[in-house]
Structure 1
Amino acid sequence: MTIQARLDELGIVLPKAAAPVASYVPVVVHGGFAHVSGQVSVIDGELVKGRLGEDLSLDEGIAAARACGLMILAQLREAMIPLDSVARIVKLGCFVNSTPDFTDQPKVANGASDLMVDVFGDIGKHARAAVGVPSLPLGVAVEVDAIIALSGA
């Protein structure tokens, strides 16, 4: 089954890839790996803003992380990298805008992690960091970056 067929089966439509908001490129391919810049939480074209433990629920945080994962896939597509060329999701870095007493960053990060496994199966299983931070660009709730191994790159 192709990855597009899997996305269709899951009812997933990838969003339009977001343009960079500063001096960087969304994806760099080097040495057989795609390095995807941090993607912020956007759902239905709107930034998901707020802090976990203050004005956003755990479920909202999980949804925000999933949206970041979808944007990672959209950025690959925008960079003309076929999703079927993904050999392994190597690592995700998840940054969660959260209060000092919020400790469920790993649960929030599961929104992106579970998406990768749902889409790619076993090759979607990855190493990960889930970190709480006091703020994120544009006031967003979550930002996720990725390192992805590519076949034939």
Structure 2
Amino acid sequence: WNVPEPELVLVLNSRMEIVGFTAGNDVSSRDIEGENPLYLPQAKVYDGSCALGPGIVLTGPDGMRDLPIRLGISREGHVVFEGDVSTSRMKRSFEELAGYLGRELSLPSGAFLMTGTGIVPEEEFTLTPGDRVEVSVGELVLVNSVVS
């Protein structure tokens, strides 16, 4: 079974400086993850498991310290899940996260860094084909339909 995870995504230049943000939907496959905890990487990397956008807001870290993040899932026109959180609740600073990524990796073209989620539907929930998933981060709204 699969669940969406709404995330703030940092946009980094080649020096790992934060130059903006976008919205991300990092879908997890609980089917794969549940088989064995060692399968966690595979539960995050498969066709259709991640969406970014719809654009990039150019700003430094101060412009994203208290952004609302929302998740809404509709099925056949009815809301089946809603949740919200704020970037102000994040444990680590944006600069610290970018620093970890740049410590061991050279990324000459820059990178998109997904920061993790604070909203996950309950354990028995799963996405089904036709569901409409809406992730908003600040002013950005990313909408995806689930396909089989």
Whose strand proportion is higher, 1 or 2?
2
After TM superposition, the score normalised by the length of structure 2 is: 0.30
Larger Rg: 2
